Chain A
Amino acid sequence: MVLTELSMLELAAKLSSGEITSLEATRACLARIAQVDGQVKAFLRLDEKGALAAAEASDARRKAGNPASPLDGVPIGLKDIFLTEGRETTCASRILQGFIPPYDATVVRLLREAGLPIVGKLNMDEFAMGSSTEGSAFGPTHNPWDLERTPGGSSGGSAAAVAACEVFGALGTDTGGSIRQPAALTNTVGLKPTYGRVSRYGVIAYASSLDQVGPMTRTVADTAALLQILARHDPLDSTSAKVEAPDYREDLEGGVRGLRLGVPREYFTDGMDPEVEQAVREALKAYEHMGATLVDVSLPHTKYALATYYLLATAEASSNLARYDGIRFGLRAKDAKGLKELYGLTRERGFGPEVKRRIMLGTYALSAGYYDAYYLRAQKVRTLIRQDFASAFEQVDALVSPTSPVPAFKLGEKVADPLSMYLMDIFTLPCNLAGLPGLSLPCGFTKSNLPIGLQILGKPFDEARLLRIARAFEREHGFTRRFPTL
């Protein structure tokens, strides 16, 4: 087997036995990146020196029989939304080009403490706004399964790098599906944990009440192992939950026998790709076969989720992005005459079209006279959507649905039509509105060899059960060990 195709835990086992060193694994990643990233364009920046130094330190710990965590020494990539001390972080935006953060995000610190070498920063839609990674100010990422297609977004760089075996795992963020949708489009596993499960400190904010950090890996067990490192209370994030994390790998092989899986009828809509629907239906059958009971459930307010999401997310974004004003860091329009022009020109030049669109939408939704009609109304609908899920979870243990209505689409196909791009998140964003955990795992391929994703949604802090349900399918019908040819 090719070294870079190992799962994180497989590599960890070899590191543990001394068969491979972290330095070798890290060098293998760098070589693989050198080989394929010219086509995939997953990385915005590499940190060879930092990664190799971390690998060396890890090897020393392993040698001394003192690994920092089960994943000590396993190279990983980071979406460029995570602040890395002393290493440029741009959120794929011109406005932050050249920005060197003075501190590490909490999750970055946790990864460093756990001994994982950080290979580099991965491409994304600018400020995580988008579903195709075409919104990056530095050019799109290509889907390793078909280079003419998008890997999804906004964590498209993370998904593509993991799928193309450039790194063993990556971190993404998910505000409306930005981990799960690209995972589905690249045959990887992506988990958006419960809101508050993982610290947001040092993660560049898009929509604060919806953003959540999560792992993106090639196997379910790897996702469990990464989550184990990330899931903890952070006093620096006031929305971080004070809920003790269970051992996510303990019950991973427990199967689905006796579980009640809800099939939300609103998630099987017209316009869904027939091949996607078929693969998901087959996965449902497989679950029945494995001893789960399928239950037809309804989430009646689903049809309002998209509008609700785009009001709330843009409202928060319009405020969160106000700090990019050219005064303290990042881009500044040097030729501006006067303060207003400084703001205007800096933001005009620094932000891309999708970011501007969302700032304007959010500003409008919060404006005097429109607040009640838009923002406040959206908050009320959000409550209804939460209640939908709460009553569904009175009947079932988890919900199963497609992750994305379509497989990977062609680059450029939806760029001119923002609304059709927004529809890519239609199955993923209700979960963010409700703050619930959601996971996407590979469940098949189209005839033209494009990956299809299955989404599993759970109760708050029920990640362990989602992982167990995902693992059951992976074990019996695994698509997770298939790799694109590059």
Chain B
Amino acid sequence: MPLNDFQPVIGLEVHAQLLTKSKLFCGCSTEFGAEPNQNTCPVCLAMPGVLPVFNQRVAEFAIRTGLALGCTIKKTSVWSRKNYFYPDLPKGYQITQYDQPICEWGALTIDTPEGEKTVRIRRIHMEEDAGKNVHDAAVGESLVDLNRAGVPLLEIVSEPDLRSADEAVEYLKALRDVLVYLGVNDGNMEEGSFRCDVNVSVMRKGETQYGQRCELKNINSFRFIKQAAEYEISRHVEVLESGGKIDQETRLWDTQRGETRSMRSKEDAHDYRYFPEPDLPPLHLADALIDEVAQGLPELPRTKFKRFMSQYGIPAYDAKLLCAERPLAEFFEACTQHYKDYKKLSNWFQGELARLLNESGGTVSISTLKFTPAQFGELLSAVEKGTLSNNAAKDVFAEMFREGKSPEAIIAEKGLAQVSDAGAVEAVVDDVLAKNAGEAEKYRAGKKQIFGFFVGQVMKAMKGKGNPALVNELLKKKLGD
């Protein structure tokens, strides 16, 4: 097993599109899905004579991200030009940050089978996105859509601290959770608003010198990232084991064939000719702004997860699910004000609520729920008090989900209130036993497994509203147990 003789080394460069309303250097909309070239102006089309004007909101987003990841926020950072020719790069250069980025040296903690692991983050910088080339093979033409040109991005660069494809995916998931929690990114990999380049190398175990690395460009799902990184690791090991040498190059992941392919080698690597952007002064950040952003930082997913376990006494599995999305976690917390059996509450979140959300096919989300935490609490309390059966509660809940009515109203409307009146239940039990005297005889003779039959008959007669505990108790008593 030669693979075991090697240690993979992985570092990641993540590009996260920021959720600002307007672009980085002009007032154009950043909305996804507009008609081609609709969200453009002379500035983002790079017409002659135009100049960039920095969108200050982007600095707030970058600071928020930097603080959340424990970075040093640089009070002065500098814009640079990265020069290259490509049809979707209208200026012929990208405005980015080079040697003086806005954030440096942070970290992100992830879970691995060996326990917690801290991945160092080397830098976070701001830059503008490029447009998109659309190749129309039928017409034999390429078309350029510049809607995305100038949309603000954060590039988050990790140190090569990751040691397996799984760790890389874990890191990306954790990072995505943080960015989505912060409200700076929508985490959408399919639309490319969260995308990454993966740098992979291997070294023989025990060595300290990293091997030659290859860069895997723009992979758009966690599954593909895992596959591509694993493919690349085995490829490196194979090459090295057969006495070969890894060339530094940029590679693409071919999803069809499940392999990586060379895109360009070091020899034809770009010379980007970076230099400080003369159209933009250095960015100076006031302490007051950094403080203000720090004040507004939300609790981060990992902190929240740990607090949920200790504060609500729920298992890690539950806490993780509940903390996966900020609105979900916040809704859960709101519900805890109205219902104190947190584990049972959590079960309902994972069971009925998750199922209904799922069935809505995305038309309903946590933030558009029609019922309130108080109503949710009311429903669960009714079950606990025995005024509503568990099954009936599910129906009521579905109705609350659809119509947004209070559980009380639905119960009244549908006559679902559970019957816990011992006299009323006893009458039904007597009736059922009378009608099924033969069965009762058999039971008393020892055929205990038919107990459920009587329960079913009683429930049927009561249209499901009989308090199950009471039904059980009375049946056993009358059957002589």
Interface of A toward B, CB cutoff 8 Å: 82-83, 89, 91, 96, 99, 101-103, 105, 200-205, 207-209, 235-239, 315-316, 318-319, 321-323, 325, 327-329, 339, 343, 363, 366-368, 371, 375
Contact = CB atoms under 8 A, between A and B. Distances in A.
Given A105-B49, A323-B90, A366 B83 contact: yes
Contacts of A327: 87, 90, 144
Given A235-B53, A238-B280, A239-B279, A319 B48 contact: no
Nearest to B52: A238
B47 A103 contact: yes
A205 B49 contact: yes
B53 A102 contact: no
Q: Is the interface of B mostly helix, strand, loop or mixed?
A: loop
A200 B48 CA distance: 11
B48 A83 contact: yes
B271 interface: yes
Contacts of B51: 200-201, 236-239
B48 A89 contact: yes
Given A325-B92, A327-B90, 16 more contacts: A82-B49, A96-B48, A99-B48, A101-B48, A202-B49, A205-B48, A205-B279, A208-B279, A238-B279, A238-B281, A239-B279, A318-B83, A319-B92, A322-B91, A366-B83, A371-B275
Contacts of A328: 45-47, 90, 144
Contacts of B54: 238
Contacts of B91: 322-323
B83 A201 contact: no
B210 interface: no
B48 A103 contact: no
B81 A319 contact: yes
Q: Is the interface of A mostly helix, strand, loop or mixed?
A: loop
A314 B211 CA distance: 39
B273 A102 contact: no
Nearest to B53: A238
B415 interface: no
B378 to A, nearest CB: 54
Interface in B21-80: 42, 45-54
B275 A366 contact: yes
A362 B368 CA distance: 56
Q: Which of B45, B81, B275, B279 has most chain A Cβ within 10 Å?
A: B275
Nearest to A326: B87
Nearest to B43: A236
Contact of A323 (B48, B53, B275): B48
Given A202-B50, A339-B87, A322 B280 contact: no
11 contacts: A201-B51, A202-B50, A205-B279, A208-B279, A316-B275, A316-B278, A321-B92, A322-B91, A325-B87, A327-B144, A368-B273
A325 B51 CA distance: 18
A201 B25 CA distance: 13
A103 to B, nearest CB: 5
Contact of A375 (B85, B275, B279): B275
A366 B273 contact: yes
A242 B182 CA distance: 34
B339 interface: no
A201 B278 contact: no
Q: Which of A200, A321, A322 has most chain B Cβ within 10 Å?
A: A322
B53 A236 contact: yes
A78 B73 CA distance: 45
Nearest to A375: B275
Interface in B269-315: 271, 273-275, 278-281
B91 to A, nearest CB: 5
Contact of A315 (B50, B53, B275): B275
Contacts of B280: 238-239
Contacts of A321: 92
Interface residues of B, number: 28
B260 to A, nearest CB: 24
B48 A91 contact: yes
A316 B276 CA distance: 10
A101 B41 CA distance: 12
Task: Give 7 closest A-B pairs by Cβ, nearest first.
Answer: A322-B92, A209-B278, A208-B278, A366-B273, A202-B49, A204-B48, A323-B46
B93 interface: yes
Nearest to B48: A204
Q: Which of B46, B87, B92, B281 has most chain A Cβ within 10 Å?
A: B92
Q: Which of B42, B45, B49, B279 has most chain A Cβ within 10 Å?
A: B49
Nearest to B91: A323
Nearest to B87: A327
Contact of B281 (A205, A207, A239, A367): A239
Contacts of B92: 319, 321-323, 325
A80 B93 CA distance: 25
B34 to A, nearest CB: 18
Interface string B85-123: 101001111000000000000000000000000000000
Nearest to B82: A319
Contacts of A89: 48
A379 to B, nearest CB: 8
Contact of A322 (B42, B53, B83): B83
A392 to B, nearest CB: 25
A200 B51 CA distance: 8
Nearest to B93: A319
Contacts of A368: 271, 273
Contacts of A235: 53
A82 B48 CA distance: 10
Contact of A101 (B47, B83, B281): B47
Contacts of B83: 318-319, 322, 366
A237 B274 CA distance: 22
B360 to A, nearest CB: 44
Q: Which of B53, B83, B278 has most chain A Cβ within 10 Å?
A: B278
Q: Which of B47, B48, B144 has most chain A Cβ within 10 Å?
A: B48
Contacts of B49: 82-83, 101, 105, 200-205
Contacts of A316: 275, 278
Nearest to A99: B48
Given A103-B42, A208-B279, A367 B273 contact: yes
Nearest to A235: B53
Nearest to B79: A238
A200 B45 CA distance: 17
Contacts of A96: 48
Interface in B371-419: none
Nearest to A95: B48
Contacts of A99: 48
Contacts of A102: 42, 47
A82 B281 CA distance: 23
A235 B42 CA distance: 15
A363 to B, nearest CB: 7
Contacts of B273: 318-319, 363, 366-368, 371
A97 to B, nearest CB: 13
Contacts of A103: 42, 47
A101 B46 CA distance: 12
B427 to A, nearest CB: 83
Contact of B85 (A83, A105, A238, A343): A343
A205 B46 CA distance: 11
Q: Which of B42, B46, B47, B281 has most chain A Cβ within 10 Å?
A: B47
Contacts of A200: 49, 51
A366 B42 CA distance: 27
Contacts of A205: 48-49, 279
Nearest to A208: B278
Contacts of B279: 205, 208, 238-239
